[in-house]
A and B are shown apart, each in its own frame.
Chain A
Amino acid sequence: MRQGVSKWSLERKRRTFCYLSLLPVFGIFTIIRIIPIARTFILSLTDASLISLKSNFIGFENYKNLITDDLFHQALVNTTLFAFSTVCLSVVLGLLLSLLMKRKTTLSPLYETIYFLPVITPMVPVAIIWKWIYDPSYGLINYMLSWFGVKPIGWLVYPNIALWAIVILSVWKVVGYNMMIFLVGLRNIPSMYYEAALIDGAIGANLFRYITLPLLKPILLFITVVTTINSYNVFTQVYVMTTGLQGAPGNTVRVLVYDIWENAFRYSRMGYASAEAVILFSIILLLTLVQFKIVKSES
């Protein structure tokens, strides 16, 4: 009997320890994640602004206005173009690099380190270097192109070209990360699969098509999802490379997070910007689900 009581009190002591330990952690989680995520949806139905404390419930008015907002359209199209091309290029290039690097050689550690260098470098200085490399009159890229007789291009001057310039920078920055993850996956494929296939007479392209690719599928999914989410949230490089260029705001490549930031913190339209944030969130959620579906249905 006594034993039972002490066991029970021991159990209670442990539970108290658990809840007491998790309390501050979940306190912070509630403040910085749970409440803000829930409030984004609520705010998107109001006309809240930073200046006035009072806000009115206005239903789906913000969403209706977004439908006819040209800047929002522009942002949506630009972000989608950016995300689609960044994901395609960085995934294909990352896979290609990892295939070339699969065999461990003396140079492998060197390659891995160098390709990973842009990944660990903060975005702001990276964007600054590239902004300068793209400079129409002093930049390295135009100089290299001039060897082939190409006339100077105003890379960051026109929004259409600037978008692609930013895609190139972003692929450069992320490709080492994708490569590294593919590499981990490739090196984990047991060599007996290849040996068996070789005995069956499979060669090069077939090995890749029927052995490597199917076994890499979960990793391919992971990389695509992560890169898509990150690309849809692109902000820093756009902010650094295209705002305040010779003081002309017209050069901005408008992307969704930039538009959200501008509406919320420049024009103080918190409700309106929240509606945009909800749309951004829905797009990301939808794309993630679709990517999961595609991979599942194929296997």
Chain B
Amino acid sequence: MAEVIDRKNKITRILSHLFLMAGTITMVLPFFYMVGSSFKPPPEIIAWPPTFLPKNWTLDNYLTLAEKAPFVRFFFNSLFVSAVSTLFILFTSTLSGFVFSKYKFPGKNFLFIIILATAMVPFETYLIPLYIIVKDLRMINTYQGIILPYAVMSFGIFLMRQNISSVIPDELLDAGRIDGCSEWMLFRIVVIPLSASAIGALGILAFMQAWMAFIWPLILATSREMYTMEVGLAMFQQRFTIEYGGVLAGSTISIIPIIVVFLILRRSIIEGMTLTGLKG
């Protein structure tokens, strides 16, 4: 009897591994196809039957990329926008998280509810008035304009509030106050160092969020110099439907930094994203 169950278990386990393996292949196949093809000379890219690995390896698609469109500029724009957005989010989230977790003041709950409630409204639904406001501020086609909606993050405030209230004991803050620290100094010398790991995790999420943004930079960047990597790629593939080599090389370049970071910080990224409801 026990043997039968054992065998049945073994078969189920093997079957489930087979199923998971098949899924794994489906997940990575598009990536392999893209990276492999980006090293093919153009005629081989559109050869029939399609192949995964190039017969003749070439770097041409990458080397000529900068001539076809200002991808260096796109890459820099994405990097700059994401970095500044991340810095803003880290600062505003840590400071507000500190205030919301360690102080009592009138209107506290109301303000916190506003932060969470406005995050429930999808960005796409209030895009138009936001655009008009940014236009009135004369920020169309500027870095400030592209960054503005990504300067604060409701989830970041929520995360830092949770973290600070569990990691930093009130006694420590009181001890600091007795030693003559101002509230601001407490924030700088106690709160920031002690919540460093949460700040790091939030930083990755904030960076990825800004890097992946599409519809907002698409609307805001009216000249090519202001395109982010995502917008630049989308425009480039629209204009040159035949230029597969360049499109594939550009896509590979835009994906690789994120995949490398993901493989290094896998655990904290997965944890962070499953906690947040943040999607890709």
Contact = CB atoms under 8 A, between A and B. Distances in A.
A126 interface: yes
A28 B130 CA distance: 12
Interface in B117-140: 118, 121-133, 135
Contacts of B129: 35-37, 39-40, 43, 274
Contacts of B135: 50
B251 A125 contact: yes
A32 to B, nearest CB: 5
A147 B130 CA distance: 51
B99 A226 contact: no
A235 B118 CA distance: 21
Contacts of A295: none
Give the one of A18, A21, A176 with max B CB within 10 A.
A18
Given A22-B96, A36-B129, A274-B129, A281 B20 contact: no
B114 A173 contact: no
A143 B48 CA distance: 8
A123 B33 contact: no
A133 to B, nearest CB: 6
Interface in B251-276: 251-252, 254-255, 258-259, 262-263, 266, 269-270, 273-274
A261 B128 CA distance: 9
B215 interface: yes
Contacts of A206: none
Interface residues of B, number: 91
Q: Kindly name the residue among A17, A33, A116 whose own CB sees the greatest number of chain B CB atoms within 10 A.
A: A33
Contacts, number: 260
A153 interface: no
B56 interface: no
B20 A101 contact: yes
A111 interface: yes
A264 B135 CA distance: 14
B24 A124 contact: no
Contact of B99 (A21, A29, A132, A274): A21
A79 B182 CA distance: 53
B214 A235 contact: yes
B92 A129 contact: no
B277 interface: yes
Contacts of B19: 100
B214 A119 contact: no
Contacts of B34: 125, 128-129, 132
Interface residues of A, number: 93
Contacts of B26: 172
Interface string B140-157: 000000001101100001
B269 A120 contact: yes
A34 interface: yes
Interface in A23-56: 24-26, 28-29, 31-37, 39-40, 43, 50
B280 A121 contact: yes
Given A21-B96, A120-B208, A177-B280, A129 B31 contact: yes
A233 B13 CA distance: 38
B258 A120 contact: yes
Contacts of B189: none
A157 interface: no
13 contacts: A22-B111, A29-B118, A39-B129, A40-B126, A116-B266, A121-B280, A122-B211, A122-B254, A123-B230, A125-B252, A236-B234, A264-B128, A277-B128
When A and B form their complex, which 8 residue pairs have the shortest distance between CB atoms, in order from nearest?
A: A39-B129, A125-B251, A244-B238, A36-B126, A17-B183, A36-B129, A33-B118, A36-B130
